[in-house]
A and B are shown apart, each in its own frame.
Chain A
Amino acid sequence: MLNFSSPINKEKSYSEIKIIEIEPVAKINLRSSKREFSTKIGKLLSILPPAEANTSSGNENFNLLWLSPDEWLVYSNNKQQSLEEQIKLEEILFNEISNLNQGAVTNVSDHWVMINLKGNKIYDLLSKSCPYNFNEFKKKKGSVTQTIINHIDVILHNKDNNDLNLFVRRSFAEDLWLWLNDGARFI
């Protein structure tokens, strides 16, 4: 885990939008097309990887996002998780999956930055520069999509009504953060 000081970790509030970076959060990428993988993840994390496209599953500790038919992203709900706990989680998954040739486990905690958006107008803000149709997405709690916002690749996870987590690659995070804040001023 990088010991970084992010320039974007202050909460920004606008009339109907709140934006905040949530870090550090453990994020682990899982890849497998093996049958036993699903039950194994179920045993280790107490959640099954969603098989249906654009959905997620979760419990009080973790969220498991569908990225493609053989790829998922696990992220922790616990912001207070220590570095040791994160490494332990990665190790458990790595030993049980990668080492047994059941799939691939990659720690992407430092690869993705998680930004939380809340408020009635968040979809108006995202739609300013996103080709995705949010009509179904915003109705369904737990829905996931990968798309582009202002030409930047993002993963969106609909956590709750008008509450979503956005994952963006670290090198693009500040650019997107500035764009989101700039856009939010005019909504």
Chain B
Amino acid sequence: MFLINCPYCGERDQTEFSCGGEAHLERPKQPTELSDDQWAEYLFMRKNIKGIQYERWNHTHGCRKWFNIVRDTSNDKIHAVYKIGEKPPVKI
């Protein structure tokens, strides 16, 4: 259990949010030109880092907006929260 500072509503309990997985994955521009392995790589394979990870989260039970979080998966410490479309912080 931890608190997340929603960029729209303010600080809320984690139970109000849902995690949307790794952030900043770029969809291939021409999926039809990819092999099945390349497509599967994009679609299913995630880094699942133990440490600092960039993630997408949704305030499901609040404003229902998506945003990004930089979270240390080993201790749930949140280093940064930023809106969709904003650039991720360079230094953590």
Contact = CB atoms under 8 A, between A and B. Distances in A.
20 contacts: A53-B10, A53-B63, A54-B9, A67-B63, A68-B65, A69-B8, A69-B63, A69-B65, A131-B12, A131-B15, A131-B16, A132-B12, A132-B13, A145-B62, A146-B62, A146-B63, A147-B16, A147-B61, A148-B16, A153-B61
B64 interface: yes
Interface in A162-183: none
Contacts of B8: 53, 68-69
A2 B40 CA distance: 48
A146 B17 CA distance: 12
Contacts of B63: 53, 67-69, 71, 146
Interface residues of B, number: 13
A155 to B, nearest CB: 10
Main secondary structure of the interface of A (DSSP, over half): strand
Interface of A: 53-54, 67-69, 71, 131-133, 145-148, 153
Interface in B44-75: 61-65
A54 B9 CA distance: 7
A131 B62 CA distance: 12
Nearest to B1: A131
